[in-house]
Amino acid sequence: MSASMVWRTGLRARAAPTSRLSSRPTSLLPKRFPAAVRYASESAPVQQAVSETVKQTSKEAPKKVARGSRKLLYGTSLATILFVGYIYGTDTRASVHRYLVVPLIRQLYPDAEDAHHIGVDILKVLYQYGLHPRERGNPDKDGALATEVFGYTLANPIGISAGLDKHADIPDALLDLGPAVVEVGGTTPLPQDGNPKPRVFRIPSQHGMINRYGLNSKGADHMAAVLNQRVRDFAYAAGFGEHELAEQRVLDGEANVPPGSLVPGKLLAVQVAKNKLTPDGDIDAITRDYVYCVERVARYADIVVVNVSSPNTPGLRDLQAAGPLTKILTGVVSAAKNVERKTKPYVMVKVSPDEDSDEQMTGICEAVWKSGVDGVIVGNTTNRRPGALPEGYDLTEKEQQTMREIGGYSGPQLFGRLVSLVGRYRKMLDQGPPSGTGPDGEDTPMSQTGQPRKVLFASGGITTGQQARQVLDAGASVAMMYTGIVYGGVGTVTRVKQELRDEVAKK
Ligand SMILES: Cc1cc2nc3c(=O)[nH]c(=O)nc-3n(C[C@H](O)[C@H](O)[C@H](O)COP(=O)(O)O)c2cc1C
């Protein structure tokens, strides 16, 4: 029915009762119409007024319909714009994330830590309402980037490094950005504030950062509660119910998803560290710190990562010496084996790029073999400052000042060292342990006992698919990113994976 027909029919319907009523005997009319009866049968002027009204109405009706149509048009247009905006804005491939959102956040939040917090908060809220950016179309489905890690077939070899989601606020939002590994934390046994602010700085011309957060953490109990609730929500949504047994069934693999990530083909790593106030020289107390964290959070992790490489906790890096490291890692491995879950979490140790002498690296490898840790994340931020960049990329005065800030440097300038370190660790670990350094004092080199190869993840300056390819070729299983995402926005993982796919296709 056309719009004009609609209003015409309406007019007819309104006009009809008057004439019908006028021809009926008043006594037969129902009581509810007495006034209408009087108007119709007795009053000519009233009839005139009625016909005037009808005329008036017939003039206004088309206008009303036009107004209605306009409203409908505006409404539909608005709905279409919102829908297209939603589809575009929530797609990690949208260039708006890199070229509008990142500069806007930097402009609005000159302090890099404020920008970090607001970024996490926004993602958290968007995720709650299903409005978060995500990878659409499952680009990993062709299997071109699939890789084996710890017996899992991962969808791709890209990860997000620790520190971006320090309190496990947004693991699912980060997983939806496309990586196969997300590392949350580091968490410490007791809550701690970290260093005084300001403590995070940008070096925009290098796409680099310096931070001295100092492992600010809400504590392992808090993180355990957050991760526990996440599993419970998942169990409920998957139809396992709300009780504790439901949680256990999910953790035991009955939902056919890894117990940490809760997403097929993806893994969740949870990083643990010591409290700043735990005395540097007391290795037993330090080991207890790490073990406490493992006992609280490892249940919800596919991988537990031991952080001994943050440059911002005094004395932490000294724990990378073979003796203390072996003790700490042995404690962690044993605690991870006791986790109440069918499959136990794997354990990795995250090491610094600055402990790079043969002697230091050999000591770390020795601790890895002796403790039975499953792998190494190479590396972390660096205490060193990168050399001058090629001409045309001079640091501004402010950046030169920033470069003098105490803290760990991160960004593309780390990459060269990272590739070399991954290659060297790969070689050292593939040679197996020196005799007598296997777990339980075994004498036979691991490489000859059929022990699984130690897994390497790479972290430091990766921003492109080509770089990811280089670290994978050097012997890493996963290429992790942090600062690249800060400067590239939420679409970075998708972009790097596409570049990596192009690299693989070239082969
Ligand atoms: C602001 C900031 C906070 C970080 N926090 C942690 C942390 O809590 N634990 C950790 O092991 N690494 C932390 N890192 C180091 C990163 O995980 C990563 O190893 C390092 O930045 C090098 O990689 P990138 O060049 O891709 O950023 C942090 C890095 C930055 C920039």
Q: Which of 386, 437, 377 is nearest to 181 (CA)?
A: 377
Q: Cα of 286 to ligand 1 centre, how many Å?
A: 22
- What pLDDT, on the 0 to 100 scale, is given for residue 452? 87
pLDDT tens digits, one per residue of 354-408: 999 999 999 999 999 999 999 999 999 999 998 766 556 688 999 999 999 999 9
Which atom of ligand 1 lies nearest, measured to the CA of 161?
17
Using DSSP, state whether 82 is helix, strand or coil: helix
- What pLDDT, on the 0 to 100 scale, is given for residue 100? 96
Domain boundaries 91-506, corresponding CATH code: 3.20.20.70
- What pLDDT, on the 0 to 100 scale, is given for residue 27? 41
Q: Cα of 320 to ligand 1 centre, how many Å?
A: 18
Summary mean pLDDT of the chain:
89
- What lies within 8 Å, CB to CB, of 421 at 6+ separation is 353, 356, 378, 379, 460
Q: Cα of 246 to ligand 1 centre, how many Å?
A: 35
CA distance 12 to 58: 10
Q: Are strands 346-351 and 303-307 parallel, antiparallel or unpaired?
A: parallel
Most informative mutation of 482, 492, 493, 496 for ligand 1 (most atoms within 8 A of CB): 482
pLDDT: which is higher, 460 or 452 = 460
Q: Cα of 482 to ligand 1 centre, how many Å?
A: 6
Closest C-alpha to ligand 1, atom 4: 163
Most informative mutation of 200, 270, 417, 459 for ligand 1 (most atoms within 8 A of CB): 459
- What pLDDT, on the 0 to 100 scale, is given for residue 436? 57
- What pLDDT, on the 0 to 100 scale, is given for residue 388? 64
- What lies within 8 Å, CB to CB, of 338 at 6+ separation is 295
Closest C-alpha to ligand 1, atom 10: 162
The residues annotated with a catalytic role in the active site are: 310
Q: What integer is the mean pLDDT of 208-236?
A: 98
Lowest mean pLDDT across 9-13, 51-55, 155-159:
9-13
Which atom of ligand 1 lies nearest, measured to the CA of 415?
25
Q: Which of 276, 260, 261, 271 is nearest to 220 (CA)?
A: 271
Q: What integer is the mean pLDDT of 262-290?
A: 97
CA distance 302 to 256: 14
Q: What integer is the mean pLDDT of 472-481?
A: 98
Using DSSP, state whether 401 is helix, strand or coil: helix
- What pLDDT, on the 0 to 100 scale, is given for residue 387? 74
For residue 10, what pLDDT band results from cuts at 50, 70 and 90?
Answer: very low
Cα 249 from chain centroid? Answer: 25
Whether 29 has a pLDDT exceeding 50, the answer reads no
pLDDT: which is higher, 387 or 296 = 296
**CA angle (127, 131, 135) in 5-degree steps:** 85
Most informative mutation of 113, 161, 415, 481 for ligand 1 (most atoms within 8 A of CB): 161
Q: What integer is the mean pLDDT of 452-458?
A: 96
Q: What integer is the mean pLDDT of 407-420?
A: 97
Closest C-alpha to ligand 1, atom 18: 380
Residue 186, preceding peptide bond in cis (omega within 30° of 0): yes
**CA angle (372, 431, 426) in 5-degree steps:** 80
Q: What integer is the mean pLDDT of 406-428?
A: 97
- What lies within 8 Å, CB to CB, of 3 at 6+ separation is 65, 69
Closest C-alpha to ligand 1, atom 11: 162
pLDDT: which is higher, 21 or 294 = 294
For residue 42, what pLDDT band results from cuts at 50, 70 and 90?
Answer: low
Closest C-alpha to ligand 1, atom 14: 163
Q: Cα of 163 to ligand 1 centre, how many Å?
A: 5
Whether 95 has a pLDDT exceeding 50, the answer reads yes
Which atom of ligand 1 lies nearest, measured to the CA of 211?
1
Q: What integer is the mean pLDDT of 153-176?
A: 98
Ligand 1, CB within 6 Å, residue ranges: 161-163, 166, 186, 200, 209, 211, 213, 215, 271, 307, 310, 350, 380-381, 410-411, 414, 459-462, 481-484
Closest C-alpha to ligand 1, atom 23: 460
Most informative mutation of 380, 421, 422 for ligand 1 (most atoms within 8 A of CB): 380
Alpha helices of 142-261 — where are they, by DSSP H? Answer: 171-175, 220-237, 244-251
- What pLDDT, on the 0 to 100 scale, is given for residue 16? 38
Q: Cα of 146 to ligand 1 centre, how many Å?
A: 25
pLDDT tens digits, one per residue of 120-139: 999 999 999 999 999 999 99
Closest C-alpha to ligand 1, atom 29: 163
- What pLDDT, on the 0 to 100 scale, is given for residue 450? 63
For every residue of 191-223, DSSP letters joined together read -B--SPSP-EEEEGGGTEEEE-----B--HHHH
